[in-house]
Amino acid sequence: MSVTDIPPSGPAPWSVSRDLPPYRGILAVDAKDFTGRPAVEHVTIAAAIPQLLRQTLERAGLGELWKDQRFANHTGDGFVFGFDPTALPRVIHPFLNELQELLTDYNIHATATGPLRLRVSLHVGPLPDSGDPGDGNGTPRNDTHRLLDSKPVKAILASSGNITQVAAIVSQRVFEDAVLSGYTRLHPDRFIEVPATVEGKNFQQRAWLHVPAPSGSLYDRRILGEDTPPDDAQPSTGEAPTPPAQQPAAPTTRYDRSFISHSENVHGGQNINNYDGPGPRDGGAGR
């Protein structure tokens, strides 16, 4: 290819003012432990993921999003596509609940591949979408994948019990625009604030976790990496330490009753004891 065959790149950043690309919602999913599965399962799982997304969108009344998907891409162990951001509140709810329910049904019969559990990330931002090659490339798309690979959402799904099929992470922008605004049915208290980081990547953003069906030990505050003092740790008071004979007995548990305890980096909570499961097919999500 000669230099003359390379399409012009356009003006350099910060050299001229220009219109922003259209805003697009970005939905990405990834299968848990895909690379650890037998190779014979990979083709079946890779084919099942987009079909599950299509069926879930239809069940959630969002079938048009699948038909009108933008810059869709199969990632092997997942799938990503752009969509009209006005649908973000409904992609949060009821889509996430419907995905949890559909995967529950799918896993009952998944004898050929074993259970399939998915991480989901949601973001929004300006991305090229003109029908040309390179559509969908940009920082919002990159950040969507970083959120999907971040430590908190991986840890949450890995620590959950068998009934949890979906763990979702949404960007701060999505949380503000669709959740705090009241446009989605899920209350902000159903989300947990986390610092999203990716090992080996220069990435850290504020984000929010949501698990449609919490299970297992998700109320253990150590799941997201919060340090827990040793049993014999004593607060520093400047006084001589209490003799061992007078020390109080070590606590019998370190668990809080909330989904994950509050800390300066983790806020909000989902209470397992009060969780009453997804609501009716009309989009209910319990409390």
- Regarding pTM above 0.95, the answer is no
Structure confidence by residue, pLDDT tens digits, 254-286: 333 334 433 334 444 443 333 344 443 344 443
Mean pLDDT of 180-203: 96
pLDDT band at 4 (very low <50, low <70, confident <90, very high): low
Instruction: Identify which has the larger pLDDT, 283 or 104.
Output: 104
Q: What is the mean pLDDT of residues 81-104?
A: 98
Whole-number pLDDT of residue 206: 97
Residues 28-45 have a mean pLDDT of 86
pLDDT at 16: 94
User: Where residue 225 falls among pLDDT bands split at 50, 70, 90?
Assistant: low
User: Does residue 176 contact residue 228 with C-beta atoms inside 8 Å?
Assistant: no
Residue 193 has pLDDT above 60, yes or no: yes
* 166-171, strands of its sheet edge to edge: 70-74, 78-83, 23-31, 118-126, 166-171, 204-210, 192-197
Return d(Cα 262, Cα 260) in angstroms, integer.
7
Does 32 score more than 50 pLDDT? Answer: yes
